[in-house]
Structure 1
Amino acid sequence: MVERGAETPAEANGTTGLFTAVGKMLRVLRERKGLTQKEFGALVAYGPDAISAIERGVRTPQPDLLEKADDLLDAGNLLKEVIPEVKEAMAKARTRHPEWYRNYAALEAEAVSLHDYSTMGVLGLLQTEDYSRAVFTQRHPPLDEETIERRVADRLSRQQFFEKWPPPECSFIIEQSELERPIGGPSVHAGQLRQLLRIGRMRNVQLQVMPTELSRHPCLDNGFTLLIPKGQEQVAYMETQGYPRLVVDREEVRVLAARYGIIRGQALRPDESLELIEKMLGER
């Protein structure tokens, strides 16, 4: 998703400093224990990229991770003691998103169901850190370095969405042309494709590719997201050149949901889609 506008004062809420400090403590304790990020991640059921992002303060350390890490790393309750502050900071973290985006971000965070069709670039919720940084670095008019890093951190923080329990029901339809565009260069592109494979193999996720070769297409407009916040009716969200629109009208949502169903029916099956991505990586 595209982002626009400068941050408002509400974004400077102090959460970044806390997450950075906790991440540094975690790194020192892990290294003292003689564990690599991969080894430690395997013990706490996190990937090495996630551990790296947490240690650098660009991803929020979840309370359950801090509980496990405290025991595994012999921290002597050092990490457990900061859990109340981390929970408070997590509650504030939603305001880190630009003001125009916050209503949607709040709904996304509590969604029990999310279905997205994207057309121009990989959805922010699915992006790697390097891909996200490339997107913001290439933005025009240009953003300053501090803003880029803040935007990347905020985008990565949204990916805690996949760590909720019970897990939300998700499906993602991606245009094949998105997968073929090497944003950030070959290495970043390959990393993003591997990220899509990882997420697409989750039990609660179905990832499908819309093949370019189709001569008919039910939606040549912009992409959109359908989601159901907990205890609420389904809504839709879309952007045009950075201008957001949250759709709550039942009839408009119904039309988009029907359109999504048609797109999903024309896209490659999930297993075919993952095979296509593997072939693009040279793994087939």
Structure 2
Amino acid sequence: MGEGVDEAGWDVEPGDEIEPVVQAVGRLLKVCREAAGVSVPELSEAMGYGEDMIRKIERGARIPRPEFLDRADQLLKAQGHLRAFMEDMKRARYPKKVRELAELEGRAVEMLLYGSHNIHGLLQTPEYTRTIFEMRQPALAEDVVERETAARMARKAVFEREPAPTLGFVQEQVTLERPYGGKMVLRRQLEHLLEVAQLRNVTLQVMPTDREEHAGAAGPIEVLKFADGTAIGRSEGAFNGRPVSSPKDLRILELCYGMIRAQALTPRESQAFIEQALGRL
């Protein structure tokens, strides 16, 4: 396995606040390697990664995968010092914007989510997500596709939280019919939607294309509410697309979202609609 295969980690984004931590891990790796009397070429051969990759990690320019640290800890007999940073590197490997979003979703007690172009990220299957990133133009590098897909899948931990947050999703009909990645990818995606819709803390609704009135014509909406009574929201069609947190601005987004839910199919009707769409594939 050479360094052309991006298995050891990802480059650090310039200016990212996790950069000092990654640099500290790199220095620790170098100290442990030298203390063990192991050269970079020797560690490279033992680990199965290119020498340049090892050096980049030691310089703090590369975020090592948790698995890399686990293996290096064993080889260098680091007594758990490298392994202690596995969780930090697990979080650091995702893009900054994704980490920030995951932190907000991890704190939210209620989420109001309306998607108009694609299935919402929290509802996507790995195959659907990968297809979304593979279609980006200009084309993304394979390691970027892998990183973004893994990051989006990690956000789905929100469904495993206790106590479970209340999640409300409204999806445009077209997002259930557009066969990104082919019919088999769409079939699995629709099956997954039906599975998620069975969760007691989830409400899933479909907005039919034939509606003559639509409060969501301006684009997607997201409102995340927290246990302390605060909230944050965003809509492409309001406030220039920037996040808002004032009660006045949030009330506008919630009013719009409430109208969208009222105009959409009921949860039971939506489930039947998805089942019919699945039957047509």
The reply to whether TM is greater than 0.5 is yes
- Return the TM-score normalized by structure 1: 0.68
Q: Is the 8 A contact 1:100 1:244 kept in 2?
A: no
Q: Deviation per CA, 1:134-178, whole angstroms, max 9, x where unpaired? A: 000000111100110111111101101000111111110000011
User: 2:248 maps to what in 1?
Assistant: 251
The offset of 1:100, in angstroms, is: 3.6
* More displaced 10-residue stretch of structure 1: 104-113 or 91-100: 91-100
Larger radius of gyration: 2
Q: Secondary structure at the match of 1:246?
A: coil
Q: Normalising to structure 2: TM-score of the pair?
A: 0.68
Mapped to 2, the partners of 1:15 and 1:111 lie a distance apart of 28
2-structure distance, mates of 1:252, 1:20: 47
In structure 2, what is the Cα distance between the partners aligned to 1:244 and 1:264?
A: 21
Q: Which runs of 5+ in 1 are unaligned?
A: 1-5, 22-81
Instruction: Indicate conservation of the 8 Å contact 1:119/1:222, yes or no.
Output: yes
Which residue does 2:198 correspond to in 1? 201
The whole-number CA distance in structure 1 between the counterparts of 2:199 and 2:172 is 20
Checking the alignment, whether the CA contact within 8 Å between 2:107 and 2:226 is kept in structure 1 is: yes
Counterpart residue number, 1:8: 13
What one-letter code is carried by the residue in structure 2 that aligns with 1:275?
A: A
Q: 1:148-187 to 2 correspondence within 5 Å? A: 148-187=145-184
1:234: Cα distance to partner? 1.7
Partner of 1:233: 230
- 1:98 partner letter: P
What is aligned with 1:139?
A: 136
| 2:67 aligned partner, one-letter code | G
Is 2:17 the partner of 1:17? no
> Conserved in 2, the CA contact under 8 Å of 1:7 and 1:99?
no
Unaligned 5+ residue runs, structure 2? 1-10, 20-61, 72-79
Partner of 1:117: 114
Structure 2 residue aligned with 1:190, among 173, 187, 191? 187
In structure 2, relative to structure 1, the CA distance for the partners of 1:248 and 1:101 (3 Å cut) is farther
The answer to whether the Cα contact below 8 Å between 2:66 and 2:87 also exists between their aligned partners in 1 is no
Aligned with 1:215: secondary structure?
A: coil
Q: RMSD between aligned alpha carbons?
A: 2.8
* Residue pair 1:176, 1:212 contacting (<8 A) in 2 also: yes
Q: Which amino acid aligns with 2:263?
A: Q
Shift of 1:244: 6.9
Report 1 or 2 for greater relative contact order, CA contacts < 8 Å, sequence distance ≥ 6. Answer: 1
Matched-pair contact (CA < 8 Å) for 2:95–2:148: no
Residue 222 of structure 1 deviates from its aligned partner by: 1.6
Aligned length: 213
C-alpha distance in 2 between matches for 1:259 and 1:90:
39
Aligned-residue offset at 1:14: 3.4
Identity among equivalent positions (%) equals 36
Whole-angstrom distance in 2 between the partners of 1:171 and 1:19: 39
Distance 2:182 2:70 in 1: 28
Q: 1:244 to 1:259 in 2, by over 3 A?
A: closer
